[in-house]
Copies of this chain bind each other. A is one copy, B any other.
Amino acid sequence: MEFKTLLAKQELQPYLLKARYGIEREGQRVTLTGELVDTPHPARLGNRQYHPYIQTDFAETQMELITPVAESIPELFQYLTGIHDVAYRSMDENEMLWPLSMPPALPEKEEDILIAKLDAFEDVLYRRYLAKTYGRRKQMVSGIHFNFEFSDELLQKMFSMQTEVLDYHQFKTEVYLKVTRNYLHYSWLVTYLFGATPLSEARYFEGCKRPKEPVRSIRNSSYGYKNHEDVKVSYCDMETYLADITRMVEEGKLSEEKEFYSAVRLRGGKRMADLAKDGIRYIELRNLDLHPFASCGISVEQVEFLHFFLLFLLWQEEGPILDEWVESGLQKNEQVALEHPLEKTKYAKEAHELFDEMLAFAKELELPLTKDLLPKLFQAVKKPEETLAAQLYLASQKTSQKDVAVQIALANHRKRWAKPYQLAGFEALELSTQILIFDAIQKGIGVEVLDPQDQFLQLTVGDHIEYVKNGNMTSKDNYIVPLLMENKTVTKKVLGKAGFRVPRGREFHRVEEALASYREFETQAFVVKPKSTNYGLGISIFKEGASLSDYQTALEIAFKEDDAVLVEEFLVGTEYRFFVVDGQTKAILLRVPANVKGDGVHTIEELVAQKNTDPLRGTHHLTPLEKIQLGEIEQLALKEQGYQVHSVPKKDEVVYLRENSNISSGGDSIDMTDAFGQDYKEIAESAVKALGAVVCGIDLIIPDYTQPADEPGAYGIIEANFNPAMMIHTYPYQGQGRRLTMTILELLFPEMFV
């Protein structure tokens, strides 16, 4: 097949750098001082029997982080970093991931290396077999598996431009077989550039032959974790490949197909038999050591290069005898793997030529690569000290490899824990959505962001699909309920009919009409507000009635905001937000206007600065709380209380800087869930039920929550919100946080919470 000619066709150009990617990253859990942990796999994570993202590999300490299939490199790293965040923050805070492929010092007794405690007995059995055949120590090495699939558009178009192969599956198989053979032939270059296991740690080679260290890659040499030498498989065509593996298994050289380790694994359906039927769907590169300096064990640059390299390998001619072509590559790889990392490689000339060809290829096909990508790697061919193995070796020379690894791991650990309310990779989303994704990944619920702008997620468990928008808009609520809650008049009517206390009031559409009802409100506490605005605009509150002219002014202000205005009884008391899910009050929050508490020493300005050092306070809703400002509004509020920013409030005096209690203007959120009795919770719950809502943030005015809820005037319901904020409950200023995102997941996937 003349792939070279095909690839050069103009029409293909837009699709050459499109692909689907997936990464599996293994890593040992260690203590903060770099010792293997003796704790089990974190219990916070969903069961390993189904977990799509976080598994264990050979040992109980050896986490395996698995991205879903990604359609682009940014998406791939979004998932990879996100899953790392979840893995870290699901472990005890005094554990971390070892950043090297080479495991940390191993136990003296081999049996102290604990095989992963999996539910499925066959999985345990397989690991026991591996332990026996290869030894537990060798199995402790970690790496990256990189799954790669050319874009279907590219392959479909290539297929339609040729006539040699009539079956599309067959065509794809030929593409991937050529790429695989060439990859095996040139794998020494990957080992040279990215190999990163120069030195062994204590007891890794206990009782085995060992190479003369340092090398480029222990893991990719014959001293790594490899099949025994008598395992040989041909890649010349699919039939031979399958026949060879089958024979190895029959002859007992392999226990089963998956025991065949190679730098490339051919992937079809779930079982190897699917390869024969449907051909190769994608390939898995397995020869990548963990990148010590990349916080997820692999860098964006590496992935971009690998994609480019695989495309180049499809273009690049092969040698005349295919099995020899592969075999010669494997031999070169063994040599390169065992070279001293600071030495020039024996194949420097070939590497040079290869880079020249790659640059020419990139130019001919007008590939829009990152500008520095090839030149930088080319540079490493010329300067061995720029390879990963060399860098790690050089750093280790100053102290020890262990010390270097611990410092890297600690830096990663600090970063992962710095902003626990964020999810790395997903920071562009709203905080609630970030946390919901965090929880989904933790539980093992499949997550796909269908639209980041719209905070629109798809969650999947098996065949069960749920969609979520803005963190808690889901299929569990029916469509009419939020529409009902959106309309204050309708909400009040429905609650009123159901017997709940709501502010008495009327809706008006003209000032004159409202003026005619003046006598109904004249002498009582009442509020005039636009019907639909939610931002406090156009609202006037009269706590002791109002004159006709003040009433008229208030109406005119309100009618500027909306063509419908509500005039309502004003309920006196404190406002509490009840967060009700599926009939149960999951959280109760009090919001207090921005304030500082005096100490008799510091000025208000200083107290504000102090309070703002709380890591939960930030700006632009990127944190659960907002920093208190000292702008015009706050200074005016101070002035009205006889203060300036330089005043020093008395000890324990609380000075308010705002009238409104919004968290977004620096207010404090205080969790009160446990302070309330069941009676108020039942009122909130039954009101939400009357509205028909499943997820609802309902606001009650309560003069004194220590009084029984059934006393007259004990409560009034002023608003019901269909997309209530969750973050304010999860990371409150004071009191216990409530993980409402997990509650939402439980609502959507009860089967995962049994």
A binding-site residues for B, Cβ under 8 Å: 13-15, 368, 450-451, 453-454, 456, 458, 466-469, 473-484, 487, 489-490, 493-494, 509, 516-517, 519-520, 564, 692, 722
Given A493-B450, A519-B13, A519-B14, the answer on whether A474 and B480 have CB atoms closer than 8 Å is yes
Q: Residue of B at shortest CB range from A493?
A: B450
Contact (Cβ within 8 A) A456 B483? yes
Given A13-B519, A478-B477, the answer on whether A451 and B483 have CB atoms closer than 8 Å is no
Tell me, rounded to whole Å, the shortest Cβ–Cβ distance linking A566 to chain B: 12
Which residue from B13, B489, B520 sits with its C-beta under 8 Å from A451?
A: B489
Which residue from B15, B475, B483, B509 sits with its C-beta under 8 Å from A692?
A: B475
Q: Name the B residues within 8 Å of A13 (CB-CB).
A: 519
Given A475-B478, A479-B479, the answer on whether A490 and B14 have CB atoms closer than 8 Å is no
Q: With the chains together, A475 CA to B494 CA distance in Å?
A: 15
Task: Show 8 residue pairs from A and B whose CB-CB distance is below 8 angstroms, ordered by the A residue.
Answer: A14-B519, A450-B487, A453-B509, A456-B483, A456-B487, A467-B480, A475-B479, A475-B692
Tell me, rounded to whole Å, the shortest Cβ–Cβ distance linking A586 to chain B: 19
Q: Name the B residues within 8 Å of A493 (CB-CB).
A: 450
Tell me, rounded to whole Å, the shortest Cβ–Cβ distance linking A437 to chain B: 16
Which residue from B15, B454, B482, B509 sits with its C-beta under 8 Å from A487?
A: B454
Q: With the chains together, A517 CA to B17 CA distance in Å?
A: 12
Q: Name the B residues within 8 Å of A467 (CB-CB).
A: 480, 483-484, 490
Q: Name the B residues within 8 Å of A469 (CB-CB).
A: 480, 483-484
Seed contacts A14-B517, A453-B509, A469-B484; 9 additional CB < 8 Å A-B pairs: A14-B520, A450-B493, A451-B487, A456-B487, A458-B494, A467-B484, A473-B483, A475-B478, A476-B478
Given A478-B476, A480-B468, A482-B479, the answer on whether A489 and B450 have CB atoms closer than 8 Å is yes
List the 8 shortest-distance A-B pairs measured between CB atoms, nearest first: A477-B479, A475-B478, A14-B519, A14-B520, A467-B480, A450-B490, A475-B480, A469-B483
Q: With the chains together, A29 CA to B181 CA distance in Å?
A: 92
Q: Residue of B at shortest CB range from A467?
A: B480
Contact (Cβ within 8 A) B479 A473? yes
Q: Name the B residues within 8 Å of A450 (CB-CB).
A: 487, 489-490, 493-494
Tell me, rounded to whole Å, the shortest Cβ–Cβ distance linking A486 to chain B: 8
Q: With the chains together, A487 CA to B483 CA distance in Å?
A: 18
Q: Name the B residues within 8 Å of A479 (CB-CB).
A: 473-479, 481-482, 722
Q: Name the B residues within 8 Å of A480 (CB-CB).
A: 466-469, 473-475
Among A474, A480, A484, A490, chain B packs the most CB atoms within 10 A around the CB of A480
Q: Name the B residues within 8 Å of A564 (CB-CB).
A: 453
Q: Name the B residues within 8 Å of A451 (CB-CB).
A: 487, 489-490
Q: Name the B residues within 8 Å of A484 (CB-CB).
A: 456, 467, 469
Q: With the chains together, A477 CA to B692 CA distance in Å?
A: 13
Tell me, rounded to whole Å, the shortest Cβ–Cβ distance linking A74 to chain B: 12
Contact (Cβ within 8 A) B473 A481? no
Tell me, rounded to whole Å, the shortest Cβ–Cβ distance linking A245 to chain B: 34
Tell me, rounded to whole Å, the shortest Cβ–Cβ distance linking A123 to chain B: 31
Tell me, rounded to whole Å, the shortest Cβ–Cβ distance linking A474 to chain B: 5
Q: Name the B residues within 8 Å of A478 (CB-CB).
A: 474-479
Tell me, rounded to whole Å, the shortest Cβ–Cβ distance linking A69 to chain B: 13
Tell me, rounded to whole Å, the shortest Cβ–Cβ distance linking A684 to chain B: 20
Q: Residue of B at shortest CB range from A497?
A: B458
Q: With the chains together, A117 CA to B9 CA distance in Å?
A: 83
Q: With the chains together, A509 CA to B454 CA distance in Å?
A: 13
Q: Name the B residues within 8 Å of A722 (CB-CB).
A: 479
Q: Name the B residues within 8 Å of A456 (CB-CB).
A: 483-484, 487, 490
Q: Residue of B at shortest CB range from A507?
A: B451
Q: Residue of B at shortest CB range from A509?
A: B453
Q: With the chains together, A722 CA to B480 CA distance in Å?
A: 12
Given A13-B519, A516-B368, the answer on whether A481 and B490 have CB atoms closer than 8 Å is no
Q: With the chains together, A466 CA to B480 CA distance in Å?
A: 9
Among A368, A469, A479, A480, chain B packs the most CB atoms within 10 A around the CB of A479
Tell me, rounded to whole Å, the shortest Cβ–Cβ distance linking A370 to chain B: 14
Q: With the chains together, A694 CA to B613 CA distance in Å?
A: 51
Q: Residue of B at shortest CB range from A482?
A: B479
Tell me, rounded to whole Å, the shortest Cβ–Cβ distance linking A464 to chain B: 13
Q: With the chains together, A468 CA to B487 CA distance in Å?
A: 13
Q: Name the B residues within 8 Å of A487 (CB-CB).
A: 450-451, 454, 456
Tell me, rounded to whole Å, the shortest Cβ–Cβ distance linking A442 to chain B: 22
Tell me, rounded to whole Å, the shortest Cβ–Cβ distance linking A112 to chain B: 47
Among A481, A483, A692, chain B packs the most CB atoms within 10 A around the CB of A483
Tell me, rounded to whole Å, the shortest Cβ–Cβ distance linking A9 to chain B: 12
Contact (Cβ within 8 A) B475 A481? yes
Q: With the chains together, A490 CA to B449 CA distance in Å?
A: 10
Q: Name the B residues within 8 Å of A519 (CB-CB).
A: 13-14
Tell me, rounded to whole Å, the shortest Cβ–Cβ distance linking A179 to chain B: 24
Tell me, rounded to whole Å, the shortest Cβ–Cβ distance linking A694 to chain B: 9
Q: Residue of B at shortest CB range from A475?
A: B478
Tell me, rounded to whole Å, the shortest Cβ–Cβ distance linking A533 to chain B: 14
